[in-house]
Amino acid sequence: MFQELMPLLARRVVMLTASRIDPDLICVNIIPQRLKSGNENNEVLTTPLSLTGTPRELDEELPKQLVEFVRSHLELSSTLKSAKEEMEAAAKAAREASRKSTATKARASTKESAPATGNPGTASNEEALEPKSIPASDDTSKDAAGAGTSSFPSDVPTSGDLFGHPGVEH
């Protein structure tokens, strides 16, 4: 029985209890304890094994059950460790990609904000700074910004009409 527990005991403390629950029945509990430190403190790894049977049944079955329990426990521990490592690697890769993307965007915005000088086909700095006039339209109505607007049909409500204040114009 203890030979079967050795691989589990190498990783954590295991508590064993045996109780007589009937004149012919014994209940045996194998309870892996939490680690005081380390990364393997998952609750699943502290799930106990509990067997109830006659002394003869326990003598025959307990070693087989312990082998399976320890094997499952070690496999689960290994799987959890691998999954954690994969998630950490993926998170690191995502942080790196985000950092590179941010750096690329910063470089691109710096290039876009730099003035274009001396390029063929572009206006010189002096031409770009000169004010340009925009020809006025024949329509004399103006919107709030003072730009020419097209005429709307009279049945389309203005913003004032929408809220029940026909005298308000924007």
Point out which residues pair with 148 in neighbouring strands: 142
Point out which residues pair with 26 in neighbouring strands: 20, 53
The answer to whether position 111 is within a domain reads no
- Pick from 106, 127, 107, 105: which is nearest to 116 by CA? 127
Rounded-to-integer distance, Cα 120 and Cα 125, Å = 13
Q: What's the mean per-residue pLDDT of the chain?
A: 74
The answer to whether position 49 is within a domain reads yes
Position 166 pLDDT exceeds 70: no
| Contact by Cβ (8 Å): 74, 12 | no
For 52-104, the pLDDT digits (tens) are 999 999 999 999 999 998 888 888 888 888 888 889 888 888 888 888 888 77
Distances (CA, A) of 46 to 2, 94, 105: 18, 32, 48
Range of the domain at 67: 2-94
The answer to whether position 25 is within a domain reads yes
The answer to whether position 153 is within a domain reads no
pLDDT score at 170: 46
The answer to whether position 112 is within a domain reads no
List, as one string, the DSSP characters of 42-65. Answer: -GGGG--EEEEE-HHHHHHHHHHH
Based on the structure, what is the number of domains in the chain?
1
The answer to whether position 61 is within a domain reads yes
The answer to whether position 38 is within a domain reads yes
The answer to whether position 105 is within a domain reads no
Higher confidence at residue 142 or residue 1?
1
